[in-house]
Amino acid sequence: MYRVALTAPDDFDGWRGAARRLAAHDIDPADIVWQIGSDASDLFGDRPPPPERPEAAFTVPRAFVDLAQTATLHRAPERFALLYEQLRRIRSQRGAMDDSASPLLRRIDMLAKAVRRDMHKMRAFVRFREMPESEGSRYVAWFEPDHHIVRANAGFFVRRFTTMRWSILTPELSLHWDGDTLNEGPGASRGDAPQDDPVEAIWKGYYAAIFNPARLKTGAMLSEMPRKYWRNLPEAALIPQLVAGAQAREAAMIAATPRSPADDSPERNSVRAWQRLRDEAMGCTRCPLHRDATQTIFGEGPVDAPLVFVGEQPGDQEDLAGRPFVGPAGQLFDQALDAAGVDRARAYVTNAVKHFKHERRGKRRIHQTPDAGEVQACRWWLTQELSLVRPRLIVALGATAARAVLGKAVTISRTRGRPIALEDGTEAWVTVHPSYLLRLPDEAKRAEERARFVEELRTIGDRMKAAT
Ligand code: SF4
């Protein structure tokens, strides 16, 4: 029996080194014990992993390395053994990573998905509370992850809160950032973190302001924000009253709307498919943009909307609020829709790229345009959204959105103002992004361009009415 002693529950490098040596010697998975720490080594005549065999070295697909790196963070004790088994399959079977029917691969994939979800939850639900210290304030948060994700998530918090001095305490491990160096400490208990601070009132006000009852699905909300996190969230104190208000309004809407009695009506199924898609997108790592952003900003609106607006990417405020088009450009967009007589509530609004790409300058996060590779990576999600919603008209706001919708780069000035027939029969329109109007320095030019934008939206609104 071979015993592999890993240094920590998330010791991917340790697993990889041992797994490669064991696989090169063709050691059977049943003959290996994976353990954290070295307490029990050499009992019962166990052996350490065999030495390197350079002549039997082999390469594995990048997709496996990424998958294994993520799945290693799962709490399931069998994760190392499962990954080793898959590694052996890759060695002996061509296309082992493409075998979507493989129960082993599916199981590993589920582990990785759970880890990605947990990482997303940590990013979304960590709330810092101020603690005065002799060198200034330190912001301390308490978080209880489901899996061994804290170290893997550290880079995100360092990039996101570079200028703050902060600590994140968890039962297994603590992270401490002093603005320059990241240190690890032992696990802590909830009582080690402060329970409230003066910033909470501001946060609660912000949460109440961005709370959107139209998006409220109590079940989905509980799966996205399980009650175990509520204890750490200042805004959780508001949830019951906000939910009660929203449910009363929803009940009134249901009473006023004729509905199919069947729970599996096509409409309900589309909503469920959309929810699944959005949940999946929350853990997306198809391109590097997920690393620095707070969360995936998925599209929103009716899943049977006849009209879809596609923007470029979420901005700073959208990244924090979790919704598309709520920042300054979104407000201008709403005003223009109003002026054009187009009801935003009847449209599905999304972005070509779902994570906020930015560069940090001091405390500010400055927007950066996504590159062609990022647009292409994220086009997968946009295509899924469009195939679910199946709109009659798609409006691309700006060059990035046009690239995503049309599949090629176009010049806005040459493309705007006329319908473009897509292969599937949908009608596409291209116009400027509202942020372009905000950036125009000349007031007269801004007013002129805004009027043109409103006129285009009016034409599109008329086409939509004619088509429905
Ligand atoms: S930007 Fe799009 S493709 Fe890239 S990680 Fe985010 S959701 Fe995935």
Q: Which residues contact 314 (CB under 8 A, 6 or more apart)?
A: 293, 297, 324, 351, 354, 355, 356
- 44 and 155 co-located in one domain: no
Last residue of a domain, one of 57, 88, 120: 120
Nearest to 80 by CA among 71, 90, 88: 71
- 132 and 149 co-located in one domain: yes
- 100 and 15 co-located in one domain: yes
pLDDT tens per residue across span 405-454: 999 999 999 999 999 999 888 999 999 999 999 999 999 999 999 999 99
CA of 6 to the centre of ligand 1 (A): 32
- 282 and 382 co-located in one domain: yes
pLDDT tens per residue across span 297-328: 999 999 999 999 999 999 998 998 889 999 99
Q: Is the pLDDT of residue 341 over 60?
A: yes
- 288 and 423 co-located in one domain: yes
129 lines ligand 1 (CB under 6 A): no
- 286 and 157 co-located in one domain: no
Closest residue to atom 2 of ligand 1, CA basis:
378
Would residue 213 count as lying in a domain?
Answer: yes
- 115 and 228 co-located in one domain: no
376 lines ligand 1 (CB under 6 A): no
pLDDT tens per residue across span 85-112: 999 999 988 889 998 889 999 999 999 9
pLDDT tens per residue across span 283-297: 898 999 998 888 899
Min mean pLDDT across 35-44, 158-167, 320-329 is at 35-44
Q: Is the pLDDT of residue 43 over 50?
A: no
- 235 and 333 co-located in one domain: no
Q: Could you tell me the pLDDT band of residue 364, with boundaries at 50, 70 and 90?
A: confident
How is residue 412 annotated by DSSP? Answer: H
Beta bridge partner(s), residue 167: 140, 176
Last residue of a domain, one of 169, 192, 215: 192
Q: Is the pLDDT of residue 373 over 90?
A: yes
CA of 330 to the centre of ligand 1 (A): 21
CA of 384 to the centre of ligand 1 (A): 13
Would residue 251 count as lying in a domain?
Answer: no
281 lines ligand 1 (CB under 6 A): yes
- 230 and 317 co-located in one domain: no
Last residue of a domain, one of 70, 90, 120: 120
* H or E element that contains 34: strand 32-36
Would residue 252 count as lying in a domain?
Answer: no
pLDDT at res. 421:
94
Would residue 132 count as lying in a domain?
Answer: yes
Would residue 348 count as lying in a domain?
Answer: yes
Question: Across the chain, what does the average pLDDT equal?
Answer: 85
- 397 and 321 co-located in one domain: yes
Compute the Cα dihedral for 288, 291, 293, 296 and give only its sign: positive
Closest residue to atom 3 of ligand 1, CA basis:
378
- 214 and 303 co-located in one domain: no
Residue 55 domain boundaries: 2-120
Q: Is the pLDDT of residue 159 over 90?
A: no
CA of 33 to the centre of ligand 1 (A): 37
377 lines ligand 1 (CB under 6 A): yes
Would residue 204 count as lying in a domain?
Answer: yes
Would residue 146 count as lying in a domain?
Answer: yes
Closest residue to atom 7 of ligand 1, CA basis:
354
How many separate domains does the chain show?
4
Min mean pLDDT across 55-69, 173-187, 444-458 is at 55-69
CATH number of the domain where residue 362 is located? 3.40.470.10
Over residues 61-87, the mean pLDDT reads 95
- The two tokens of residue 155 are 């880079």
pLDDT at res. 101:
87
- 173 and 41 co-located in one domain: no
Would residue 248 count as lying in a domain?
Answer: no
pLDDT at res. 56:
72
289 lines ligand 1 (CB under 6 A): yes
Min mean pLDDT across 149-163, 216-230, 369-383 is at 216-230
- Tokens 């399980």, located at residue: 226
Atom from ligand 1 closest to the CA of residue 284: 8
117 lines ligand 1 (CB under 6 A): no
CA of 116 to the centre of ligand 1 (A): 13
CA of 408 to the centre of ligand 1 (A): 19
pLDDT tens per residue across span 342-363: 999 999 999 999 999 999 887 7
Give the mutation target among 355, 357, 371 for probing the ligand 1 site: most ligand atoms within 8 A of CB: 355
- Tokens 């993520």, located at residue: 70
Q: Is the pLDDT of residue 268 over 60?
A: yes
CA of 383 to the centre of ligand 1 (A): 13
